[in-house]
């Protein structure tokens, strides 16, 4: 890990909040290069990102992001719309591969393996880095088949009974088992929005990933369903590493241990969630969380 510290040239010294006004936000940022305020590194990282740049064709969407994702932690990514937080999240399991014009440079490592290494197979990567999307997207199949889909394609079950167990335990962990156990053969699309999203979480859990990426998982849900998902995220932290993109700062404050603030494709500040929300060090972060823009 030491070798990256030299390369990345990270500024960890806090900026003087008074130094940056809203007018010269951009100028202030450029003055300090690709620096990010706060603690980029954690003691026990599950994934490490170094000098990550993302381009959509000619347009650069992510600028030189350095970030560690801690094991069994929830890290939330916040920032105004179009700041690149979702793009960054999608880099972590190479979901951006499905977009033709998208190009990623830099290094993202998991288990000392660069996931953008040419020889790497995305199938096991996506099995170990699962993803939950903004809108619940259950497949037009039965509830059972929705969950069994992943284990089937990865050959995780030895027999039908084992598959049943995987399905049951995944649904139980996602807090959905009691609600659906009597109608496993009904279509997943017939569930309510919140149930569908928990079904999608269960579907991701079913392939026993180590990291779960969540891209605004509650933005299409009502407050009660949201509360359930947040509760679930907190429980899942015990066994999984979770990275969540959210528009709701309250949600970030409630569910995450670390928070990263993105602005215009740059990682402005990252640190303990408590510290970010009570004592932000960067002017931009402060402006955002106090609601001056975004």
Beta carbon nearer to other proteins, 245 or 249: 245
Beta carbon nearer to other proteins, 141 or 247: 141
| Footprint on this chain of other proteins (rule: CB under 8 A) | 93, 95, 98, 100, 122-127, 130-131, 133, 135, 137-141, 149-150, 153-154, 189, 200, 203-204, 207
Distance in Å, CB of 137 to other proteins, minimum:
4
Beta carbon nearer to other proteins, 188 or 280: 188
Give the torsion sign (CA, 240, 244, 249, 250): negative
Strand order in the sheet with 37-38: 37-38, 266-272, 258-263, 74-78, 241-245, 211-215, 129-132
Distance in Å, CB of 160 to other proteins, minimum:
18
Distance in Å, CB of 204 to other proteins, minimum:
7
Distance in Å, CB of 212 to other proteins, minimum:
10
Beta carbon nearer to other proteins, 100 or 178: 100
Beta carbon nearer to other proteins, 14 or 124: 124
Beta carbon nearer to other proteins, 21 or 186: 186
Distance in Å, CB of 82 to other proteins, minimum:
19
Cβ atoms 269, 38 nearer than 8 A = yes
Distance in Å, CB of 134 to other proteins, minimum:
8
CA distance 151 to 145: 10
For tokens 């999240």, name the residue: 89
Beta carbon nearer to other proteins, 131 or 267: 131
What phi, psi does 274 have (nearest 5°)?
Answer: -55, -45
Distance in Å, CB of 67 to other proteins, minimum:
21
């Amino acid at each position: 890990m030491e070798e990256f510290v030299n390369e990345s040239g990270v500024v960890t010294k806090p900026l003087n909040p008074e130094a940056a006004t809203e007018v010269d936000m951009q100028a202030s940022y450029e003055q300090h290069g690709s620096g990010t305020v706060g603690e980029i590194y954690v003691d026990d990282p599950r994934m490490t990102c170094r000098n990550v740049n993302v381009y959509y064709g000619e347009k650069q969407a992510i600028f030189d992001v350095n970030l560690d994702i801690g094991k069994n932690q929830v890290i939330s990514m916040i920032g105004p719309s179009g700041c690149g937080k979702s793009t960054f999240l999608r880099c972590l399991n190479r979901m951006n591969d499905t977009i033709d014009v998208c190009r990623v440079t830099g290094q993202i490592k998991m288990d000392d393996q660069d996931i953008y290494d040419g020889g790497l197979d995305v199938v096991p990567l996506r099995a170990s880095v699962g993803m939950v999307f903004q809108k619940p997207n259950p497949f037009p199949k039965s509830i059972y088949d929705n969950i069994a889909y992943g284990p089937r394609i990865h050959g995780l079950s030895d027999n039908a009974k084992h598959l049943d167990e995987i399905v049951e335990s995944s649904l139980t962990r996602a807090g959905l088992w009691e609600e659906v156990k009597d109608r496993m053969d009904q279509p997943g699309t017939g569930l309510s929005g919140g149930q569908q999203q928990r079904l999608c979480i269960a579907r991701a859990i079913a392939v026993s990933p180590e990291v779960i990426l969540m891209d605004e998982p509650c933005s299409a849900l009502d407050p009660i369903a949201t509360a359930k998902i947040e509760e679930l995220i907190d429980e899942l932290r015990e066994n999984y590493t979770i990275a969540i993109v959210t528009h709701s700062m309250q949600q970030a404050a409630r569910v995450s241990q670390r928070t990263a603030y993105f602005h215009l494709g740059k990682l402005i500040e990252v640190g303990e969630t408590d510290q970010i929300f009570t004592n932000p060090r960067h002017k931009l972060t402060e402006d955002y969380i106090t609601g001056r823009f975004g």
